[in-house]
Structure 1
Amino acid sequence: MEGNKEALIELAHYKMPFGKYKGEYLVDIPEYYYTWFKQKGFPEGKLGRMMIQMHDIKINGLEELIYTIRRDFSKQKFPNK
C-alpha cells in the first residue's frame, strides 16, 4: 500500500515536461489532450504511465482526489516535478 501512496503523491505533483502544457500539473491538463494521446499513443516510460493513469482519473471524474493529495501531501521527495 505504501508504494501506491507514494505513486499517487508523485502523480499529484508531476508536471508535463514538454509541449503545449509544459510546466502544468498533469491533473490541470484538459481531458481532450489525454484522449488525443490515447488515440496516437502515449509516450514510453514513466511519463506515459502517468498520463494513462491521469486519463483514467479524468474520465472517471476523480480529479478532486488528486487536488486533495497535492494539497495535503508534500512534494519533497519529488523536486522539480
Structure 2
Amino acid sequence: MQADDLQRLLSFKMPYGKYKDTVIADLPGNYLGWFAREGFPKGEIGRLLELMYEIDHNDLGELLAPLRKKA
C-alpha cells in the first residue's frame, strides 16, 4: 500500500462497467467480491480495487471516515 492510497479510494472513479464514475470507496461489497473471485485488473485500478475489497471484507470502512470528512 502506498501512502496516499486511502485518499485515492475516495477520489478515483471506476472507468468502466456497471458502476462507471462511482468512487471506488463507494462500490458495493458484492461487486468487489466479484473482482476478488474473477481477478482484479492490472495496474492502479486493480491495486485500489483489491485494497478496497480488503477494507470492505474486514469491515474496516471506518478507516475512510476521517478522510471523507476532510473532503
TM-score (norm 2): 0.84
- State the 1:67 CA deviation: 3.7
Once the two structures are superposed, residues 2-47 of structure 1 have per-residue CA deviations (whole angstroms, 9 ceiling, x without a partner) of: x51x222122211111100001111111111111111111100100
**SS, match of residue 48 in structure 1:** helix
User: Could you say which residue in structure 1 is the equivalent of 2:60?
Assistant: 62
- State the 1:65 CA deviation: 2.2
Question: Given residue 31 of structure 1, which amino acid in structure 2 is its aligned partner?
Answer: G
What do you get for the CA RMSD once the two structures are aligned?
A: 1.5
Mapping for residues 1-81 of structure 1, pairs under 5 Å: 4=3, 6-73=4-71
Do 2:5 and 2:48's aligned partners in 1 also have CA atoms closer than 8 Å? no
Q: Which has the higher contact order (CA 8 A, sep 6+)?
A: 1
| Farther-moved stretch of structure 1 (36-45 vs 58-67) | 58-67
Q: Which runs of 4+ in 1 moved over 3 A?
A: none
Equivalent pairs: percent with the same residue? 39
**SS, match of residue 14 in structure 1:** coil
